[in-house]
Amino acid sequence: MLSSDTTTEPVEATQAPKKLPFPPVTRTQILHCSYHYWHPLYRAITPKARLIPLSDAFLSYLRADGIVLPPDNPSRAAMMGDDSGIETSDSEDDGDQEDPSEEWSDIHIQIEETIRELDGKVTPKLNWSAPKDATWIAVTNDLQCQTPNDIYLLLKSSDFITHDLEHVFDDTDPEPEDSVSTTEDLDTTNIPYYLVLRKYFNLNPSLEFRCFVRNRTLLCMCQRDLNHFDFLFAMRDMLVSRIQTFFDEKLKDTFPEPNFVFDVYVPPPHERVWLIDINPWALRTDPLLFSWLEILTMKDLAPLEDEVVRLSLRDDGCSASPDNDSAAAAEEIENISSVPELRLVERDDPEAYGFTSPQYSAHKLPRDVVDASQSGTGGMASFMQQWKDLLAQERQQQQAESSDDE
């Protein structure tokens, strides 16, 4: 039997599956990972946040082409500069442009009030995604927002937000026949969308971790930031213990899906774990330091309560001495761990030390935009002015064509 196993395993290892062996991903599972669904369950273990339900008018504004912002406050306009290139309804060239927020003034007011309630600084996201790919356009170069227009600018510049609005149910499977769910009739036109505003705090990215759960078992976890942090290695056992306990006590038996991915933050003094996000067990979720094939083919962890001391028995039925037969005992004990792996970026990892490489900088952005964002405020101001000039030329051309048609 042993020889048979040893001859077949290498063959299996070299034959990659034609399709990753994911279980079916349904619309119900995607909705369970929406912030508005799980936040009420875990409010006490998440950073302070407020949810604002979004109207069809506001969603239409987010989906519309172009970036036209409501009238901005004077202090913000001074910070952006006259040549920022972002159009607002009080721009000189847009005297006839209506204030886009007039159609959703109640939401605009709620956003202003929420920013004040959360001490003047927030980070935004929709149901599933934060506009992390659009921070290049923000004055602070991060997700920190102090005005509603900061939020609108990030949301309308983000491909991640577009995915939430247009493609969140892509590649999902039909609900099981015995399911009582009614999500088959749900699409991106009738999803209950929310704007999530989280109180801004100085998050240390080295202490964020992504955790993978299969069959309600914490299978493995890794850094979210892809840089090497030497101090994490001395903390590895402590972090594993903290996160495992957090999962067992807070998530294991309360989240409705048996398979999911969650992100946590373990700030100093590393005694408390905060839930940051929950993601579907699906290809769309970035496995970061793992590959999905590696995760999907991992062996199940041995439950701690099932661990027993195994003794080899001699032919006479008596137990063998562990000292004398340690090698034989080791062969009999299956090589199954009961502790999930915490994978960290090694010092010599060629992917490490990316401090100077902005994350998401090449995410479907033109090269000139990326170059401008890396050139500081001067580069962005120059790019914005060019953008503004192009928009003005296009507007003049359209007006000329309209005159010719008349």
**One digit per residue, pLDDT tens: the chain, 406 residues?**
444 444 444 444 455 556 788 999 999 999 999 999 999 999 999 999 999 999 999 999 999 998 899 987 544 444 444 444 455 555 445 455 678 999 999 999 999 999 999 999 999 999 999 999 999 998 888 999 999 999 999 999 999 999 999 999 998 988 887 666 656 667 777 899 999 999 999 999 999 999 999 999 999 999 999 999 999 999 999 999 999 999 999 999 999 999 999 999 999 999 999 999 999 999 999 999 999 999 999 998 876 554 444 334 444 444 444 455 544 444 444 445 689 999 999 988 876 655 545 565 544 455 455 555 555 556 656 766 676 677 677 667 766 766 666 5
What is the spatial distance between Cα 2 and Cα 6, in angstroms, rounded to a whole number?
6
Q: Is 110 exposed, middle or buried (0-12, 13-18, 19+ CB in 10 A)?
A: middle
Give phi and psi for 85, each to the nearest 5.
85, -5
What is the spatial distance between Cα 220 and Cα 210, in angstroms, rounded to a whole number?
9
- Residue spans of the domains in the chain: they are 20-202, 203-301+340-357, 304-338
What is the spatial distance between Cα 353 and Cα 330, in angstroms, rounded to a whole number?
39
Question: 69 and 86 in contact (C-beta within 8 Å)?
Answer: yes
* pLDDT attached to residue 227: 94
Q: Kindly report the pTM of this predicted structure.
A: 0.74
Give phi and psi for 250, each to the nearest 5.
-110, -35
